[in-house]
Structure 1
Amino acid sequence: MSGTADIVARPFGDEDVDFNDVESSTASISSSVLEYRAIQGRTFHSARHPTDYFTPNDGQQQQSVDLTHHYLTVLLDGKLYLAPIPEDVKNVIDIGTGTGIWAIDFADEHPEAQVIGTDLSPMQPTWIPPNMKFEVDDATVLPWTYTPDSFDFVHVRYLFGAISDWTALFKEAYRVLRPGTGWIQDCEIDVRFRSDDGTTEGVAAMEKWSELFELSGRKTGASFTVVADDLQRRSLEEAGFVDVQVRTFKVPVGGWPLDPKLAEVGRLVHATLENDLEGYTLLLWHNVLNWPAEEYRPFLADLRKALRNRKYHGYYVLRYAFGRKPEA
């Protein structure tokens, strides 16, 4: 395990109370893909799409996606992955690529590789490295359209709340990876607040946030507790992968840690949330759980206040899991 020791908070002062120092077919894109759903001023994936993903696909949420990529890169000391793939990797696919930022960075780092990024919506940039492309596709629609034994690396990140059968997803990755040398890596996070010193216990807004995700996962069947339930490891092994390894991290929320790197990660996590608390919660609150609409805005206000308070030493638990496809 990595990064799971208690995180030491730097000394707290009065100036910290209001902490705020942050800021399908793969062949073509049909018109139906662009028919986004509008919910309370936010746009979500196409109403005709079989997957009802919980976050928006608009510009505000895309900013949070890019901030997420940045804090994960800082967490890994500048690395884009942990799986022991060879430097001369040839064919790579990024499932659920979002804005495509990971795929673009990987393509830049590996100019000899061919990189594909897939997502539900065509929200990626048009200026991309010459060795990559984006495709609109839904990884939950099985089987995948890709040729068996054709990829060297399948990258998956932050699909919590979107997958009802992780073993089925990983079996498709297994099918398209090369025997013996093909690797898969999945990174997921449990967004329920935790603390080593008990400071997040009894904070109503933080507990409401955690309850929102836990109950939504139970209702939809797409778990938000992938990490806590050890679904990554178990599902990779059930899909047939070998040499499965996991690395677990505590990801602070806010710049309260004494450790400079963790403080930077925490500030970026805070910025990610502050940028779009609504985007992470709107659909779940109103459309999945049908909680009282009049309580939603006060909840967001209370949560922002709690996030800015360095008295609360909250963190999330994040886990990387990776495995290799054995020889046939």
Structure 2
Amino acid sequence: MTGAPLPVPAGLVLVLGARGFLGTQIVAGLRAMGWDVRVPPPGDLTAAPGADWNRWLDGVSGVINAAGRTGGSPGELTRANALLPARVLEELARTGGNGDVKLVHLASAAEYGAVPEGHASAEDEPARPLSPYGASKLAGTVLIEEALRSGRVRGAALRLTNPLGAGIGAGTLPGRAARELTAAVREGHPTVRFGPLGARRDFVDARDAARAALHALTSDLSGVVNVGSGQARPVRDVVDGLAALTGYRGRILEDAPGSPRSGDVPYQRADISRLLGSGFTLRHSLDDALQSLLSGVEAGPADPRRSEPILR
């Protein structure tokens, strides 16, 4: 499929994970485009009765699944990242909406696992996740791919790299760095410590990631599609960029314990030619994303529920 933009009809979209980091931006984007949005109440959607799903899916023309977990036990990860997509597919088939409703699922570049330095991961390459998180996300993507191949559903699975922006969790490295550097400037701390910052990651502005979800919803884009910047940057660039924006001039050391997730995958870069070939354009730079991240820190305290690790 080319992903050429289609006319955007007035319609209703069910958004799962609407209260999360990316979900809030997706909802705002939908409403700005004139779509009506339906959001289920908080809770375990995999255990919701069929009658609830009947109400949620009634009259919708699209479903965006932005729900999921990046941390937790294997059981918790499986329930959020594999069983929920399975439940969505089952309910679409049961309610007869699988042919008329387009499903957009937020997958993860962690599904690729480790790749050689300099390599850009493409959608048709084997996925070899190295973490329980990546494995659980891949399970959900495989279910959706099979449903797409069989014609049981229309939709796309967007393999996101590392989104940055306002509302990112305080438990992520960029979220923590923004808060600690802001505090260091305010309180005059001469040193801020992190773990090793040499891993290279594909960072994308969260607003572009949300726009990609809306693009997938309103175009004929289908299948697995990478969403990222197409560039691999040292994590140190994020910390140094935040230091420059906050005005921090102290020392930034890398002598704290590192993240095992980061060490497992020292390099990440997405081949985004399929996304760009569909007519989508990135609007925001890394500096834009960091400024947005800081604006969220200045606006108020972090939501403790948004603690997903960024180094996927």
Could you say which TM-score interval applies, normalised by the shorter chain? 0.3 to 0.5
Task: Name whichever structure is richer in strand by fraction.
Answer: 1
Q: TM-score, length-normalised on structure 2?
A: 0.40
Q: TM-score, length-normalised on structure 1?
A: 0.38
Task: Name whichever structure is richer in helix by fraction.
Answer: 2
